[in-house]
Structure 1
Amino acid sequence: MNRWLAAIPFLFPVLVAAQEPAGPAKAAPQRLTPEMKAKTEAIARALDGLAPEGFARKGVVERYTEANLYEKIDGRSELFQAYDVAGLAFVTFSRPDAPSRFIDIFLYDMATPLGAFGVYSVERPPGSKPVAIGDAAHRGGADLFFRKGRYYASILTSGPDEAVQKAATALAGTLADRLEGKAADLWGLAMLPAQGRIEDSVQYLMVDALGLDFLTNAFTARYRDGESTFTAFVARCKSEANAADVLARYRAHLEEFGSLSEPARIEGASVLLADMGGGDFDGACRVGNVLVGVTAVKGRDAAVKAMTFLLKGLKVPK
């Protein structure tokens, strides 16, 4: 996957298009193995019996595991596999009197609440409209997305038709109520300063954070500082020794693709600073077993200011 996840925030329209609505078309009978049945039983059961008013289900509830996910969402399966997806259940509904009006439901078991938050966070476009469903939900055009516990749902519709949208919203609420939910441990949100944070910018990247294959288990967030913005990140490592190794690899990355500047001493930490071109500076340091940094800050002084803000507001458990 390498740098794939780093591009996700900019590829949202393409990704949604790749998850093409199935609409009213009938699928061929699906051959289920005992393993597929076991891994997808909970999500398939959640979809079974749903009946949005004015719509009829077309075909059976389809089931997929991480092994054959590409059969349903070719081109997007790698995203979900990066978050350890366990399975997908799919069903489609259409109006008997107008088959072109449909509602498709893709329900993913992401194995953990943090995994569900992660995939939800990278698929959420900036400025999307929040909706009070499940643990978190938003609308993107005529489609609706929500997460609850370890589950993530994409509800794609035929368009902005009022009857379709009303049915899709009711369907999402009913489905969310059927799903058991355990709140995600969003440890990165607890660490990162709340002041100035752009809330719908928070993302969890399980692998390839910032496009770097050695940076994993990371939260990123955009911050507003006056008229400018910058990205901050925290990556929790397995140990302090592991964090030191990751920081060394990050330093090598800065040396290869940028120009290292004089390091700064901030809040007791030695902070790496580098000009990455075009006046954009990155900064990073280690605090215990956590890698902390900022990216794409305009100018060295602004990068020092951003790192000072981040380290002063950082809450790392002792």
Structure 2
Amino acid sequence: MVKKQNIPAKEKIVSVVLLAGLILFMAIVIGPGFSEPSSPNQNVAEQMLPAGWSAVGGWEIYPKGRLYEKINGREPLFDQYGVVRLRYASVSKGTNDFEVYFYDMQTPDGALGIYLANTPSEFDELELGTLADISGGQVRVLKGRTYLEIFSLAEQTPKDFLIDLSSALVETIPTEKEARRTAVELLPKQGRVRGTLILNRENTYGLAKLTDIFSASYQQDNDEFDYMIRTISPSEGRKMIAAVGEEIFEFDGEIIQSETNSLVAEFMGKTLILNQTGDFLIGLYGAVPPDQGRRRLDQWIETMKDQLHGSGK
């Protein structure tokens, strides 16, 4: 029979303190800032890649708040546009290696915003997703709520490799259930000046009340102007139109026509037209006569009337 030893109370206290200290030390060393990113099932990951491609080490998932672990320094920009998570993998085929970044955003407009914010100075457009371009060894694609970046790790990369991989990855991005197109998809492509599509977060054309609106420049016949559009409820759109009208008046602009759902004004030497139609605020700004601007805006609205339904509240 083994005789049970009694450990003095003082030694018990010392042991407990040492154990607690060890636990605290381990928590600091391997705390949340150093946690490994979660990886989905490898079979699921491989299904995202075309035949012959493989994800080296599997896919890594970085939720909002942890993107800095992969893209340190860029996270604030993605937060600004409503990032939900980043899915990352290093993929390869033969001697060709690439890095793939899927950024899942809260809204399609947020995905477009981050796409536009990262536009390179020189690029060639691609027919992929909603918008896509290629610049050197980089491909960027916008589709729905997802912004996709693909980077080649080699100095010289065959363009067809990049496009084949990009096309296959784009097919894995879910299509929005809603049949309606996003605001940016409603902007006309004909006559658009290349590289002018932007998201105006604030102070659009110097107007503090005109915010979060997409715009692009156009050259049609002898006219030069911008079209603009944003998704907004009818009630909020009418409030914005009224606020913009008041701001233009305060800046000594000329209000030509002001109604509940529309505004026509002369501001900074150009014509500004705003119109709330369904769930969209649509507008034109440029050096065109007001009646000509109105006709151009009406022509654009006519081409997308089936998409401009709304509650009207």
TM-score by structure 2 length?
0.64
- The aligned length equals 269
The equivalent residue for 1:21 is: none
Secondary structure of the corresponding residue to residue 120 of structure 1: helix
Q: Give 1:146 deviation, angstroms.
A: 1.8
Equivalent residue, structure 2, for 1:31: 35
Residue 91 of structure 1: aligned partner: 89
- Matched AA of 1:225: Q
Q: Please give the per-residue CA displacement for 1:202-240, whole angstroms capped at 9, x wherever unaligned.
A: 5566x5483867545633232213355321212343233
Alpha-carbon distance between aligned partners in 2 of 1:136 and 1:42, rounded to the nearest angstrom: 30
Q: CA-atom RMSD, angstroms? A: 4.4
The answer on 1:232 being equivalent to 2:224 is: no
Alignment partner of 1:156 out of 128, 131, 151 = 151
8 Å Cα contact 1:43-1:108 kept in structure 2: no
Q: CA deviation at 1:107?
A: 1.1
Aligned to 1:317: 309
Give the secondary-structure state (helix, strand or coil) at the position aligned to 2:133: strand
CA distance in 2, matches of 1:182, 1:307: 32
The higher relative CO (CA closer than 8 Å, separation ≥ 6) is in 1
Gaps of 5+ in 1: 1-28
Following superposition, the deviation at residue 150 of structure 1 comes to: 3.2
Residue aligning to 2:282 = 292
Q: CA deviation at 1:143?
A: 0.9
Give 1:243 shift. Answer: 2.2
What is the one-letter code of the residue matched to 1:91? A
- Identify the match of residue 60 of structure 2 among 59, 62, 67: 62
CA distance in 1 between counterparts of 2:43 and 2:115 reads: 20
Check if 1:120 corresponds to 2:115: yes
> Which amino acid in the other structure matches residue 176 of structure 2?
K
Q: Please list every run of at least 4 consecutive aligned residues from structure 1 whose deviation after the TM superposition is greater than 6 angstroms.
A: 94-97
Q: Per-residue deviation at 1:88?
A: 0.3
CA contact (8 A) 1:44 1:89 kept: no
Find the partner of 1:169 among 149, 163, 180. 163
1:131 aligned residue (126, 131, 135): 126
Q: Tell me the TM-score normalized by structure 1.
A: 0.63
Other structure's SS at 2:233 match:
coil
Q: CA separation in 2, counterparts of 1:248 and 1:302?
A: 22
**Structure 1 residues 46-57: aligned runs within 5 Å:** 46=45, 50=49
Deviations 1:134-167 (A, max 9, x none): 454321232111234432210122466144x443
| Amino acid corresponding to residue 272 of structure 1 in structure 2 | A
**Contact 2:122–2:135 (CA<8 Å) still a contact in 1?**
no
Distance of aligned partners of 1:216 and 1:41 in 2 relative to their CA distance in 1, 3 Å threshold: farther
Identity of aligned residues (%): 22
Please list every run of 5 or more consecutive structure 2 residues that lacks an aligned counterpart in the other structure.
Answer: 1-32
3-state SS of 1:67 partner: coil
The DSSP-based 3-state class of the residue aligned with 1:263 is strand
Match of residue 249 from structure 1: 243
**Mapping for residues 252-267 of structure 1, pairs under 5 Å:** 252-254=246-248, 258-264=251-257
3-state DSSP of counterpart to 1:311: helix
With over 3 angstroms needed to count, the CA separation of the structure-2 counterparts of 1:255 and 1:92, relative to structure 1, is: farther
Take 1:170 and 1:212, find their aligned partners in 2: how far apart are those partners?
A: 44
Higher alpha-carbon Rg: 2
Distance across 1 between alignment mates of 2:40 and 2:166? 19
